[in-house]
Amino acid sequence: MDEYASAATALRCRESGSEYELTARYVCEVSFGPLEVVYDMERIAASVSRERIASGPASIWRYRDFLPCAPTGVARGIPTGMTPLIPAPRLAEALGLGEVWVKNDAANPTHSFKDRVVSVALEKAEELGFSVAACASTGNLANAVAAHAAARGMTSFVFVPADLEPQKIIATGVYGATLLTVDGTYDDVNRLCMQLADDRDWAFVNVNLRPYYSEGSKTLAYEVAEQLGWTLPDRCIVPIASGSLFTKINRGFADLVETGLVDAAPAPRLDGAQATGCAPVADAWDQGRDFIAPVRPSGIAKSLAIGNPADGVFALDVARATGGSITAVDDDEIRDGILLLARTTGIFTETAGGVTVATLARLAREGDIGRDERVVVYITGDGLKTLDAVADRVVTTPIEATVASFEAATGQEAPTWR
């Protein structure tokens, strides 16, 4: 394979199997099913190696052999990826587990995993000749599209629900995007963007470029395996919104096995995490259904608030195939999860991460995770984006500017041996 060539060969419908050219399309003309990128895996296996990856840039583009596009020379835009995988022994101890790792994707440029998918989508957008980027978002994607478009010199239009957290609205507007706050849920916003995408020559990253955009999530599997010395974890806890992240992490691990970068082994169990305020996939899991019944979102986990998830059915398939599960946790559990992670690892996560940690805690409490398992928890966003979620859990102690006042308030008297 040439150094910068992509092994992507076509777009294929997940339902009918119909194939299409690698253009800006996202739905099958035959079945109206979703499209995904197909690769020449034999070609990738013949060229890719651990050494080739290690010699690449410290970004998602070190895995360009597995992606639907690749920058020529130095990548444009903002370098993304290679976020830390952090051992969390105090978190493991608190939950009675043996080995827990935290993949902290809040360390990305706009503080969420959405930088990965946007990097791939906008690289493909420019390859296809687009100059305008757009998206429907629950917040993190809005931040990423606005920032990456600004870095590339692209015009951007970002559509979000009007009741989005103020921190995420501000962190989008600063990049100069045209920011449109829509009266409605995310599903209303997404429907509007699908209508707009039909008659505008814009790159809607999660509509007409969705097949390419979603591929960026696979890099979260590649990085974890590389950071674990080219081995696989036993179990991963992953938040579910549309379901794309969940399915693509699974695809990423499968790519590594298929190309021989890791030894063939049982696939990691994938446990999905949702909030009870918007849990259409968890509801289907609990009821043993093979279809998703849309819901109207509520609750504090707004970044996961997709009531009609596009990849929900496929997330069910992955959970079943890997021996995993899908769990829903309530708002109090989410707040507890945010605080537990912060106080055992020093990582402050947004509500989506609170959902993930709360799910880990639930599975540990119910005895579903063995002490011999190596568990990776995916943290997908920064807590500074959802400050209101835990504001009332933070306690301050007012004192006067005197030693006596400090000692009276805290009981921390000076040691007598002085």
* Cα 386 from Cα 166, distance rounded (Å): 8
pLDDT for the residue numbered 418: 55
Residue 119 · residue 216 · CB < 8 Å: yes
pLDDT for residue 2: 47
pLDDT digits 0-9 by tens, 165-189: 999 999 999 999 999 999 999 999 9
Specify whether the CB–CB gap between 140 and 385 falls below 8 A.
yes
pLDDT for 344 beyond 60: yes
Please give the pLDDT value at position 11. 97
Is residue 282 a contact partner of residue 272, using CB atoms and an 8 Å limit? yes
The pLDDT of residue 5: 80
User: What residue ranges do the domains of the chain occupy?
Assistant: 85-111+215-393
Q: Which one-letter amino acid corresponds to residue 130?
A: F
Q: Give the whole-angstrom CA distance, residue 222 versus residue 228.
A: 10
CA distance 56 to 66: 13
List pLDDT tens digits, range 22-33: 999 999 999 999
Q: How far apart are the first and last CA of the chain?
A: 71
348-360 as b/e, with b when 16 or more CB fall inside 10 Å?
Answer: bbbbbbbbbbbbb
Indicate the average pLDDT of the chain. 95
| Top-confidence residue, 418 or 345 | 345
**What is the rounded distance in angstroms from the CA atom of residue 357 to the CA atom of residue 95?**
10
Backbone angles phi, psi at 184, to 5 degrees: 155, 180
State the average pLDDT over residues 148-157: 97
CB-facing half-sphere around the CA of 207: CA atoms within 13 A? 24
Q: Are the C-beta atoms of 97 and 151 separated by less than 8 Å?
A: no
d(Cα 350, Cα 239) in Å, to the nearest integer? 12
DSSP codes of every residue in 317-331: HHHHHTT-EEEEE-H
Phi, psi of 399 (to 5 degrees): -140, 165
CA-closest candidate to residue 302, choices 381, 244, 359, 363: 381
The answer to whether the CB of 139 falls within 8 A of the CB of 164 is yes
Q: What is the pLDDT of residue 298?
A: 96
Q: Residue 399: is its pLDDT beyond 80?
A: yes
Note whether 211 and 26 are within 8 A (CB): yes
Lowest mean pLDDT among 62-76, 283-297, 314-328: 62-76
Out of 3.90.1300.10, 1.10.8.60, 3.40.50.1100, 3.40.440.10, which CATH number does the structure's domain 85-111+215-393 have?
Answer: 3.40.50.1100
Buried b (16+ CB within 10 A) or exposed e, 240-263: bbbbbbbbbbbbbbebbbebebbe
Residue 292 above 50 pLDDT?
yes
Cβ contact 100:344 at 8 Å: no
Q: How many CB atoms lie within 10 A of CB 9?
A: 16
